Amino acid sequence: MVHHHNVKIYYEDTDAGGVVYYANYLRYMERARTELLAERGIDVSSYHAKGYLFAVVNVDVQYKKPAVLGDLIDVTTEVQDVTNVTITLSHRIFRGETLLVEANVRLACIGKDGKPQRLPEEFTRLLPIKEKCL
C-alpha cells in the first residue's frame, strides 16, 4: 500500500543554485514516514513516551533530478520489510510523473538506553509489507 505526502517547495528549501538542498529530501521523507505511521494508527509520540525510540540506521538515496522553487512534489512511502527490531521503507519523490529521488531507509527500534529492542507487536499488524513479485 503506497502512502502519498505532498510538499510545496519554498525559497527556504533551496540552495544557492536554486534547487532543493539535498538534505531537505530527507526531511520530506521523515514527514512522509510520520504521516504514514499516523494513518496506520501509530502515534510516534505515544510510543516515545512508552520508551520506544526509532533511529535511522541506514539511508540509501539516489538523486535523479532536482526539485525547484514552486514545485509541488509527491513523496511516496511503502513498507518494504518489518523484522523484530527494524522497519525498512522505500520512498520515491515525484514532480508529476517525473521521478526525482529514490531512497530506502531502515529504522531500528531502540530503548532510552540506546540499545535495540523489539518492535511493539502491533507494528507487524499495522504495517503491511509490500508484496514482492516472484
For the segment 16-28, the average pLDDT, to the nearest whole number, is 97
- Domain spans in the chain, listed from the N-terminal domain onward: 3-126
For the segment 12-33, the average pLDDT, to the nearest whole number, is 97
**Consecutive H or E run containing 3:** strand 3-8
DSSP code, position 114: S
pLDDT higher than 80, residue 133: no
State pLDDT tens for residues 112-128.
999 999 999 888 888 87
What's the predicted TM-score (pTM) here? 0.90
pLDDT for 130: 62
- Of residues 13, 15, 60, 71, which has the active-site annotation? 15
The question of whether 15 is a catalytic residue gets the answer yes
Which homologous superfamily is 3-126 in?
Hotdog Thioesterase (3.10.129.10)
pLDDT higher than 60, residue 132: no
C-alpha cell at 94: 515525484
